Amino acid sequence: MALAEIGLVNKRMTTMNRMLHTLLVAALLAGSASSAQAVVVSWTDWQSGQDSTASGQINHEGQAIGVTFQGNYSSVITGGSSGYWNEGIPPAYTSGIVENAPPGDDLIQLDQAGTRTITFSQAVEDPYLAFLSWNGQTTLFDSEIELISSGAGIFGSGDITLINGGTGFETNGEFHGVIRLDGTYTSITFTDLNNEFWHGLTVGIGGASNGPPAEAPEPAALGLLGLGLAGAAWLRRRKAA
């Protein structure tokens, strides 16, 4: 092959490499934009409580998932119009990650230190916990947690600091907000280290293990990724030739 021909082949290969790189980057960016869309959380409808056990249900994508809360609590609020999950500015429960605050007044009301376990009737994806009026509290979990949002709620606002290697938090003032536990869970256990009158929480999920995912890639992202893979295959065939 003449030097001129070799140079032309190299130039074409360089151009294809650049095109392939551009397609792959575009696909990754589109995928990131899709995954950054806010999740519609399926929150618990609390239904009953007796002794140290409360029961509720999550309705997610046509599935009814049972939720059981075990541990000391002061009451189970199963509905009403007090607006406990109302939020101010900045919002406590909605953000670029979570689209919807818990509905109604459903919550578990606490007033003492103790260990509690939330159990699901099937494996769930990415459980979310929403907190209301969590004042001067230290809380530890059995898994790593991620702070999703913190802002103004019905009783004001406060500060939160993650501690213990990201498996717990401390609050100062009236913390209202949301945390997430990434991954698949059948239960969550946490321990409050301080007594504190009237603070509450509820739980929601981003998905269920044997149901459809909470989010799906946008068609544009899938198309760009397909173009990138096709380009990679063409480049391999070109090199082989």
Cα 35 to Cα 196: distance, rounded to the nearest angstrom = 37
Residues 39-49 as b or e (16 or more Cβ within 10 Å = b): bebbbbbbeeb
Is the bond into 90 cis (omega within 30 degrees of 0)? yes
CA 139 → CA 72, 114, 123, 132, 203, distances in Å? 15, 10, 24, 14, 15
The mean pLDDT of 41-62, rounded to a whole number, is 96
Instruction: Report the pLDDT averaged over residues 72-77.
Output: 96
pLDDT of residue 179: 98
Q: How confident is the model at residue 22 (pLDDT cuts 50, 70, 90)?
A: very low
Structure confidence by residue, pLDDT tens digits, 163-193:
999 999 999 999 999 999 999 999 999 999 9
| 190-218 pLDDT, tens digit each | 999 999 989 999 999 999 986 544 443 44
Per-residue model confidence (pLDDT) at position 109: 97
Domain ranges of the chain: 3-36+222-240, 42-208
Lowest mean pLDDT among 13-22, 29-38, 86-95: 13-22
What is the DSSP code (8-state) at residue 43?
E
Q: What is the CA radius of gyration of the chain?
A: 24
Mean pLDDT of the chain: 82
Q: Residue 37 — very low, low, confident or very high, per pLDDT cuts 50/70/90? A: confident
The secondary structure of 176-224 as a DSSP string is EEEEE--SEEEEEEEEE-S--SSEEEEEEEEEETTS--S----HHHHHH
